[in-house]
A and B are shown apart, each in its own frame.
Chain A
């Protein structure tokens, strides 16, 4: 995938007793998959070697002095203690070196920040703890969630090759086209980092940041959220699949079709009633995927941070308020709006589940039509 040298590291043998690693770690920054990332890598290496050279000279002189000018060798200390000439020289030389570093850095930076004349625009929205992608010129949008099973994280199952770096629905992008990203957030600050594109841009709530990439090679590229965004900051990876423009168009059309079809099905669903068993099973699956991170699998929440649903007034009594908070979230808290994240069926099922699980035995069934009614009632 990348051309990065992967040096043989002899320590794994030493540490093999504790090592679970299936993969070898590259020891250097990736050269990446874009012209910009290549430039960034070159810049990084240039400065690295300049620092090494300065270090070799300074530490060299210092160690020479430590070896030669020690009292144990019977030397007498010299008396000199200042020289304006020397001070000027070792002020001027670093300035020249810095200017030499600044020139390529400035050029690269200006190129990186030029988001004009993009071929395609993707809106990237961070929320606790998932990414949402929307193709601005097309009717395609979806959430991208961590796909690693909880059992792997809690060490009950063997960890997979792409542990913590795999998602249910990757972002798909065309190669050779200038892709513009617009970054924003629904809640706290996140940061969309894809090392292979040399992109790390903060997603700030209420503001939009811009950046871009032109991917050279088809492939799978992985990254992670880079800004501390709360409890599951370590569990919101990014996966990008780069396809050739022709394949990308096929994918995009198929996706648009699939989404349109799902919407149509949802309307049909409004007339249907689901059984308690069905609602509970869909509800449990949805709960585990979307709610359990905060409210916990046992519905007891985390005291002081995330409220319990078990025995809570809202989950036992006021059904419309329950539907409303799941649909629209609660301003000023971590409770998100799920109206766009989940289907009507899933929302109906998860609310039914919450009202009938862990001893919350209201016996009430919530159907898609009930959810739809509250949605329309709010006029949003």
Chain B
């Protein structure tokens, strides 16, 4: 199809409507990618401001700023927004922008669905945020919405919560279908499976995970809805149901979900490290196999979130062994990145700094994950700040750092201008120091016995919580530097070359910067 359109290339440019209509009607993968990324950034700040409320309340023992019920709404909506509103849309935005270019395709395979999958998202989050203003407030049962707290004991905002999660799920499923169809059908001739960039590979596997588990989440929220409003008893023992069943269903979605939020990050780091080490990615094929095995194993470990629910010993052992096993392919990835750096010729621009921080800090999150896998010890760690530390290491210094690294890495390609390197370095160092001040002490607080999701705590935890809150405020403030860099770079600056980075390899660096509105109307030559 691309051969035919070559002559009409100029018309394409003219057909772009102006103003708001351009963004409402667009089917262009770059426009949609940009919208996803901007949306994710806005959500990152809204979710982040909720984290600031949480940290303000926890700055000192006693209740100072918010009521416990509102505190619970903040922890719940913070989690939902960061997972479904910030991290996932940011990755989808990167996929939209980069996957067609990386495989030499003119656009995503299903451009109208692409428009639709983005434009339903703002409504999902308006509904979710709007529910906070209902009488009794928004959802307050944690982002994991365990039954029966979310069914018999929840407020009427639950219906809105269920509806908004449904919309988010539909959006994710459509996005995933689009990624899969694009990668299967639109690769340029010669772009064989084992020539695809790691980012494309990791996203392909992520998309399969999404299609497998988002319907499970939809099922879970629907059962919550019918249990609450239509007198079913899926999760109510009094009617023959089982509250623990909810957790099995939720985590069957929830565990692959955490890999949905980290596999694309692996892909990003696997793109950035070779560029700035000026050396090919070490062990490409083992990286592909490791990603695939992480994807498969992610379906066999869900109950490690549920060791305290009273499972049979056999089940506890099975899930402990499978969870420990996941550290093998994850370890392989880390070793490969280090081997890529080994005897390279490294430079340390901002994307590389964030990627290096990712490797170290994500690995620390991996270590605490391994500790959590050990069932007897998990009884002590479970539902404490140790767990909060663990998942923020893998999601903030993991997923979010990788997204920031990707933004710096591809920003010159998107805008045509170099970002301000000095400001970027400030952003990096401020983030690095504050994020560790924020999350590292949480390990100790958790080990010392502080449960998560509490608005007030015993006096012994006071000093550390004050320290954590200071780290939190600093980390929040540091992200304002990021916005400054982004705005500055969008407005102008030093012109970027096509290649941008000296060691960059891949199709996205063969096209001019900024990337033209339409790329690869004729398929490129793949070496």
Contact A77 B277 (CB under 8 A): yes
Question: With A155-B63, A204-B244 known to touch, is A19 a contact of B462 (CB < 8 Å)?
Answer: yes
Contact B324 A200 (CB under 8 A): no
Tell which of B8-16, B136-144, B257-265, B479-487 binds the partner. B136-144
B463 in the interface (beta carbon within 8 A): yes
Which residues of chain A come closer than 8 Å to B313, judged between CB atoms?
109-110, 113
Contact B377 A43 (CB under 8 A): yes
Contact A61 B342 (CB under 8 A): yes
Tell which of B36-44, B149-157, B296-304 binds the partner. B149-157
B371 in the interface (beta carbon within 8 A): yes
Contact B328 A332 (CB under 8 A): no
B359 in the interface (beta carbon within 8 A): yes
Chain A interface, number of residues (Cβ within 8 angstroms): 111
B52 in the interface (beta carbon within 8 A): no
CB of B249, distance to nearest CB on chain A (Å): 15
Contact A191 B383 (CB under 8 A): yes
Which residues of chain A come closer than 8 Å to B503, judged between CB atoms?
77
Contact B283 A81 (CB under 8 A): yes
Chain B interface, number of residues (Cβ within 8 angstroms): 105
**Bound complex: CA of A117 vs CA of B453, how far in Å?**
36
**Quick one: which of A58, A86, A98 contacts B328, CB cutoff 8 A?**
A98
**Bound complex: CA of A153 vs CA of B244, how far in Å?**
33
Which of B63, B136, B344 has the most chain A CB within a 10 Å cutoff?
B344
Contact B328 A91 (CB under 8 A): yes
Which residues of chain A come closer than 8 Å to B448, judged between CB atoms?
25-28
B6 in the interface (beta carbon within 8 A): no
CB of A335, distance to nearest CB on chain B (Å): 10
CB of A181, distance to nearest CB on chain B (Å): 11
Nearest neighbor of B154 in chain A, beta-carbon distance: A305
**Bound complex: CA of A235 vs CA of B451, how far in Å?**
11
Binary flags per residue of A190-230, CB closer than 8 Å to B gives 1, else 0: 01010100111110111101100000000000011111111
Contact A205 B237 (CB under 8 A): yes
**Bound complex: CA of A58 vs CA of B167, how far in Å?**
42
Contact A193 B460 (CB under 8 A): no
Question: With A21-B460, A24-B460, A94-B331 known to touch, is A40 a contact of B376 (CB < 8 Å)?
Answer: yes
A116 in the interface (beta carbon within 8 A): no
Tell which of A9-17, A267-275, A281-289 binds the partner. A9-17
Binary flags per residue of A341-373, CB closer than 8 Å to B gives 1, else 0: 000000000000000000000000000000000
**Bound complex: CA of A305 vs CA of B454, how far in Å?**
19
**Quick one: which of B142, B243, B462 contacts A21, CB cutoff 8 A?**
B462
Contact A234 B374 (CB under 8 A): no
Binary flags per residue of A1-41, CB closer than 8 Å to B gives 1, else 0: 00000000101100100111111111111100000000110
B346 in the interface (beta carbon within 8 A): yes
Which residues of chain A come closer than 8 Å to B142, judged between CB atoms?
228
Nearest neighbor of A113 in chain B, beta-carbon distance: B313
A376 in the interface (beta carbon within 8 A): no
CB of B291, distance to nearest CB on chain A (Å): 14
Q: Which of B157-203 contact A (CB under 8 A)?
A: 157
Which residues of chain B come closer than 8 Å to A20, judged between CB atoms?
60-61, 459, 462
**Quick one: which of B153, B156, B447 contacts A188, CB cutoff 8 A?**
B153
**Bound complex: CA of A110 vs CA of B345, how far in Å?**
51
Nearest neighbor of A65 in chain B, beta-carbon distance: B341
**Bound complex: CA of A54 vs CA of B360, how far in Å?**
12
Binary flags per residue of B311-348, CB closer than 8 Å to A gives 1, else 0: 00100110011001101100110110011111111111
Contact A187 B379 (CB under 8 A): no
A59 in the interface (beta carbon within 8 A): yes
Which residues of chain B come closer than 8 Å to A18, judged between CB atoms?
59-60, 466
B29 in the interface (beta carbon within 8 A): no
For the A-B complex with A69-B343, A205-B243 known, give 13 more contacts whose Cβ atoms are closer than 8 Å. A11-B463, A25-B463, A28-B447, A30-B449, A55-B363, A69-B342, A87-B283, A90-B331, A189-B148, A201-B308, A223-B449, A235-B456, A303-B136
A-B contacts, 29 listed (Cβ < 8 Å): A25-B461, A27-B447, A29-B377, A47-B374, A55-B363, A58-B334, A58-B363, A65-B344, A69-B277, A71-B346, A78-B344, A79-B279, A81-B280, A87-B283, A106-B320, A109-B320, A109-B376, A152-B62, A163-B459, A183-B310, A189-B149, A201-B308, A204-B237, A205-B148, A228-B453, A230-B72, A232-B68, A302-B69, A305-B155
The 9 A-B residue pairs with the shortest CB-CB distance, nearest first, are A304-B136, A206-B237, A234-B454, A304-B135, A209-B310, A51-B367, A78-B343, A81-B280, A21-B462
Residues of chain B touching chain A, judged by Cβ–Cβ distance below 8 Å, are 59-64, 68-69, 72, 134-137, 140-142, 146, 148-149, 152-153, 155-157, 236-238, 242-244, 277-286, 308-310, 313, 316-317, 320-321, 324-325, 327-328, 331-332, 334-335, 338-348, 356, 359-360, 363-364, 367, 370-371, 374-377, 379-380, 382-384, 444-445, 447-449, 451, 453-464, 466-467, 503
